[in-house]
Amino acid sequence: MAAGGRTGRRDRAVLGRRRRFAPAPAPALTSRPTTLTGLRDLARDTLDGIEFQQKHTSGWSGKVGLLFGAETGLSDSRELTRQPRSYPQIVHEFGEFLRTTITCVSRMPDIATPSVVIVLDELDKILSPEEAQEFVNEVKALFNLDVPGFLFLVSVSEDALASFERRGLPVRDAFDSAFDMIFRLDHLRLPDARAVLGARVFGLPDPFVCLCHCLAGGLPRELIRIARLVTAEPGPLDAVCRRVVEEDLKGKLAGLRTVVAREAYDHVRTSDLVRHVEAHAVPDAHVLLSAAARPPIPPGDDAGLQRVQLETLGYLYYLGTVREVFGDGFGEDELARGRDSEGDASFDTLTSVRQLFAVNARLAWLTVSAFREAWGLDVVAPPEAGDVSAR
C-alpha cells in the first residue's frame, strides 16, 4: 500500500507533462548506399525531407488498479516538428547527395565519366524574359557545386534569347555569367540531314531528303516528323510535296486564327486577312505566290495586323517556293543546283527561311526572294515595300 501510494504520487507528477525536444535535424547522409536500390531509397527520403514539413507524435498511456477500487492514470507524449529548410541547406544537401551518388555508381562497371548528368531542356518555353532570368539566377547555385563527376547541361534556343533581348532584357548576359562553357549549335545542314535520315529511313532518295530538309528548318525533330509524313504514303516527288505542304498549310491557318483570337483584333481588316489566307491555303505554287503578291491590308494600316500579314503571307511565299521547286519539273539538274551550290541557290538557304521567321519576318521574305532570284524564278516584294506586284 505504501509502495502503491508512492507510485500514485509519482504518476500524478508525470500526468499531463509534455517533454520538449529540439526539432529533428535534416537527415545526414551518414549511411552510404552501395546499390541503386539503396540510392533510390535515400533519394526518396531526402526529397520528402525537402518537400514536406514533417510532424512526428508518439505517446503511451495506461492505468494501474489500486486497492479499494481506486485507479491512477499514466501518460507521456512527445511531438517533433521539422523546421523548413533554407535554400542554402537544400543546395548543400543536394551536393552531398550528388557526392554519395557518384561514389555509389563509380563502383559499378560500364559507368562513364561524368557519372551524373542533369539536363534542363527547352528552357525557352518560359515565355517571360523576366521569369527566365529569375530562373537562371535561382539555379545558379547548383551550377557552382564543386562535385567531380557531375555535369549540368541547359539548352535554350538562340531564337528565344533573341526574342528576350528584343523585349529589353539582357538574358544572354545572365546565361553567359552563369555557365562555365557555352556551346552554340548550328542548325542542320543538308549533309547532316542526310546522315540523320539515313540512320532511320533506308534508301530514301536524295530529292525526298532535300524536300524534308527544306521544310524542317534545320531542326532534327522537325526533320524526323516531316520524314514520317513523306514516307507515310509512297508516290512521286510532286504528289508527296503537295501532301506535306497541304498539312503544313492547315497548321498555319489554324495558327493564324489562334493569333487573331488571342490578340483580340477588332480591326475591320482582320477578317479580310483571314479570308484571304483561307482562300489561298492550297498546295499550289501559283495560288500561294498570288496570295503573297496581293496582300489585303494596305500599307499604313494597323501595325499589329501589318506584322501578322507579313509573317503569314511570307510563309505562303516560302511554301509556294517549295512547291515550285519540288514540282513536276524537278530533275537531276535541279537536284545538283540545290545540293551542290553554295550561297543563295543552295537548299540550305531555303531551309534557313523557316528559322528566320522567328527572328525577322521581313528578312525571311527577302531570303526567299534571294533563293528564287538565284534559281531564275519570279520574285515578290514584301508588302510594306509598297510594290506588291510580281516581277
Rounded to whole angstroms, the Cα distance separating 241 from 283 reads 8
Strand partners, 63: 73
- Given a cut of 80, whether residue 131 has pLDDT beyond it is no
- Mean pLDDT (the chain, rounded): 78
Least confident of 30-44, 136-150, 163-177, 269-283: 163-177
User: Above 50 in pLDDT, residue 16?
Assistant: no
3-class DSSP state of 250: helix
| pLDDT of 121 | 79
Residues 295-308 have a mean pLDDT of 82
Q: Is the pLDDT of residue 61 over 70?
A: no
The pTM of the full predicted model, rounded to 2 decimals, is 0.67
pLDDT in tens, 161-197: 665 555 555 655 666 667 777 777 788 999 999 999 9
Please say whether the beta carbons of 371 and 345 come within 8 A. Answer: yes
C-alpha cell at 338: 540545290
* pLDDT tens-digit series, residues 190-222: 999 999 999 988 889 999 999 999 999 999 999
Give the separation between CA 107 and CA 110, rounded to whole angstroms.
9
